[in-house]
A and B are shown apart, each in its own frame.
Chain A
């Protein structure tokens, strides 16, 4: 008996749960979900009712209209060209932007602050928004697409690479500075060589994203296969839409396989 009492006193009470946090978080999530589902008319019933119509569409979209394929070759090639240009220009411009945004390499706080915020704002807008903007600025066509992908590439590479630059070993760069080297010499001989494999890897990754993105840029008139897709879609030529979607997927998969195998060998 005395042992039981003794034991009971050493047993700690279960600490009260943080109900405010639990109910708050659960409440937030359910409220958001309720508000969203109501706002967009999300209903499983509607989905079920529309399934027959969906089946008709799928039946109509198959088989793809293979005879249309020769007319896709030109736009597909243009799509790849847009991706290459965007990646090359964007890849070059991303170098200074990433360096200035790396805390350990930047020449001054103000530069770092402005550059970092510039980078974050670039990242907020999706690729197609840039495509719409450039299409409005320089006119419909592949040049608008290439410029949009340039901005998109800068956003992707500079963010990732500035993080790799912040992770480098500072011994060599500091030695270069100590030996009287300039800031540029420090970058060239001390900092950048260390993070070069990452740079190449991120650029290839950006190229993969760009190939993917370039396929749909044409939806807003920024060149490439997407422009064909947009005309066929708006006239409900779904057998052709299916052919375009399939060829886009195959091309994207091929490019990704190649790029991924190169990246794997790098790091």
Chain B
């Protein structure tokens, strides 16, 4: 704030003001285009309260019989997808590190960027007809889209390490493979496993959604309950999902913090 007083007064509108105005105009145009009127916005809170009242009380019997198995399936999909992605991404992360494999790294980075570009659900749209409706398609979709991100993050970890020990192993007559084993892997493993756990947390959310296209899990259950306006049953889905995700986040987050200490 003191800086402003020492500067000469700005001529016309400042840079920030222009950007803000541009965003405001853009917003109004968009709102108009999708019929989001001020009246509709003002009406919204009352509407939400009305709808929310339908959600009470949650049908916990439905929760126990239908939602819980579907949630478990979502966890299984996320776990399997993460395991597959972790196994595939570990060698790829090493190959994708510029500092270790300057020639191959570019190719690996290109592949991982492509895999990252596909949201899980678009992959699932292709896997469902290939392997049939169900959780297997979901796990494949989750696995492949996770490989991209885990490879990228893993390569970044590898690129950030101290390369001194790598040269030391080679100076002792060790091969490149042994240099990876004794100088690279011990340095990067805690961070890489932490990334696996973080990806598992994200995959729980992703797999919860996949049911929408028939790839198993809790998403399909929520879609059906809402489609037939069974709001008490939908409430059971939401409650159980929030609970399970919170618990998994806590366990996984705690483990990550211990790993990185």
Contact = CB atoms under 8 A, between A and B. Distances in A.
Interface of A: 32-33, 35-37, 39-43, 46-47, 50-51, 53-54, 57, 61, 77-78, 80-82, 84-85, 88, 120-121, 124-129, 132-133, 135-138, 141-143, 146-147, 189, 193, 212, 215-216, 219-220, 223, 229, 233, 236, 238, 241, 245, 248-249, 252-253
A53 B229 CA distance: 37
Contact of A33 (B23, B80, B249): B80
A50 B134 CA distance: 14
Contacts of B79: 32-33, 36
A146 B44 CA distance: 13
Interface of B, secondary structure class, is helix
A236 B129 contact: yes
Interface of A, secondary structure class, is helix
9 residue pairs, one from A and one from B, having the closest CB atoms: A40-B135, A54-B130, A36-B76, A81-B30, A142-B34, A124-B245, A126-B205, A137-B51, A39-B76
Interface string B127-143: 00111101110111000
Contacts, number: 158
Nearest to A32: B79
B198 interface: no
**Most chain A Cβ neighbours within 10 Å, of B125, B216, B238, B249:** B125
Interface stretch (B162-170, B181-189, B218-226): B218-226
**Most chain B Cβ neighbours within 10 Å, of A125, A141, A223:** A125
Interface stretch (B5-13, B59-67, B113-121): B113-121
8 contacts: A36-B75, A40-B134, A85-B31, A120-B249, A132-B223, A135-B226, A220-B223, A238-B129
Interface of B: 1, 23, 26-27, 30-31, 33-36, 40, 44, 47-48, 51, 72-73, 75-77, 79-80, 83, 117-119, 121-122, 125-126, 129-132, 134-136, 138-140, 205-206, 208-209, 212-213, 216, 219, 222-223, 226, 229, 231, 234, 238, 241-242, 245-246, 249
